[in-house]
Structure 1
């Protein structure tokens, strides 16, 4: 009887957690972090990292034919945590006394992801300025088709993104696809040119900000 009562209390507690918190999200976040820290190789800051995922029944929309649009953005949280841990980007920012928040996101959907489909999310840094780091994510199906592409502007607080990237590039080995090149025998670090889509996106965000300031 005692065991039965204990089990009932545990079930009630679990149900309450599910009611008041998205428990599945927190559990998966812990799992993603543990896998990145314990089972995956460390990555260079300019590396492209990959996580695997699957569209489950709690990811689909009311049409029951494809993944809900909002779930794409939710999946990016797990991709970023994996990237932050494996590259030590978040650790470096914290060591400098800074923080990082999501400044803005843009996503383009190309083809829906069907229920129970397995897909990958790739993550890489494509540009940075003094305040922000721009990260590109791609949702890639088993047929290598890019189902969606997202760009996230990660805003750094209390530290400079330029300084953080300089530290990251100097502390990690030279990488074939990095911004490091030899010039007259010296190692010179080049920042990549701003991609056109980010240039136009920033212009759009600035117009939006200007309109909001008028209100």
Structure 2
């Protein structure tokens, strides 16, 4: 099944929310490298990693109830920025895991990490800034409001954002500087 079909399936038929799971807990998605993931050098193409992360991200949101909430509120998630580091190459038919987790949030976006591993070894690490907008009005939805509603839906206390890892905090600072200089950079 192509990644876009997997993505559509994860979005349209989300995982059932797990009541004991908070949205800060990591979620692991197991996959296998498919022929359409490869480039001419017979390794996973860098663009395919973004699709893999989209599939895993939607599965994570399904497990923590985020997709149910987003659908109910008519919200859509859009990637505002991303960064990725490659350590090893995945090859055809390799089994691997994408472990995704919310690193934290600020007034504008959520920072979500994807760690792609094979047999426990890190192959790729990606981090995305995810912003939510109202589907029709395109009004921005505050991450603080989303966290409050998710915690309420799950019956948990409203958490504060965890402190971002230093490398991500520095990256976020450069993004926020760019936004102040030119608001359309992350729109």
TM-score with structure 1 length normalisation? 0.70
**1:119 maps to which residue?**
96
Q: Distance in 2 between matches of 1:99 and 1:56?
A: 28
If asked which structure has higher relative contact order (CA below 8 Å, sep 6+), I would say 2
RMSD: 2.7
**1:44 maps to which residue?**
22
Note the 1:30-109 alignment, pairs <5 A: 30-33=8-11, 36-37=14-15, 41=18, 43-64=21-42, 66-109=43-86
8 Å Cα contact 1:44-1:173 kept in structure 2: no
1:87–1:30 Cα change, 3 Å = same
Residue segments in structure 2 that go unaligned for 5+ positions in a row: 134-138
In structure 2, which of residues 137, 142, 161 is the aligned counterpart of residue 160 of structure 1? 142
- Quote how far apart the aligned CAs of 1:69 are: 1.4
Q: Highest Rg: 1 or 2?
A: 1
* Higher helix proportion: 1
- Quote how far apart the aligned CAs of 1:211 are: 7.8
Q: Distance in 2 between matches of 1:92 and 1:32?
A: 15
Note the 1:4-19 alignment, pairs <5 A: none
Residue 149, structure 1, aligned to residue 149, structure 2: no
TM-score with structure 2 length normalisation? 0.80
